[in-house]
Amino acid sequence: MIIVHCLPTYLDYNSIANKFHLSFMKIFLATKNQGKIKEFKQILSKSKVELITCNDIDIPDVEETGTTFVENAILKARSATTITKLPSIADDSGIEVDFLNGKPGVWKI
């Protein structure tokens, strides 16, 4: 789940390019994953958005205390927005296997 936080608005992944590129010149991507950074740079390449990442501004890791992937993504996006003062995109993901009663899930062993 990818969350965009912009005090106090949240948008899903499919809305990012449609709504944000007209409103903001800079967006912070709260990830150190180079693949995700490359993907978002490509998504936003034809817009006037400048993508700022953890390569540009080092932010501390956020304790993932949420009970769902969505809650953890919101925690990360809120923290990034508070630190950078920019609209922020964050995500959290993992594997939940029905046969294993949802494990490994949000809290990895």
Kindly list the averaged pLDDT for each block of 10 residues, start to end, along the chain of length 109: 49 50 74 92 87 93 91 92 91 89 80
- The domains located in the chain, with CATH, are 2-104 (3.90.950.10)
CA–CA gap between residue 93 and residue 60 (Å, rounded): 19
CA–CA gap between residue 104 and residue 14 (Å, rounded): 27
CA–CA gap between residue 105 and residue 94 (Å, rounded): 6
- Considering the candidates 12, 58, 91, 92, report the single residue annotated as catalytic: 92
pTM of the model: 0.73
The single residue listed with the structure tokens 């965009």 is 4
Annotated catalytic residue 61: no
pLDDT at 105: 87
pLDDT at 9: 45
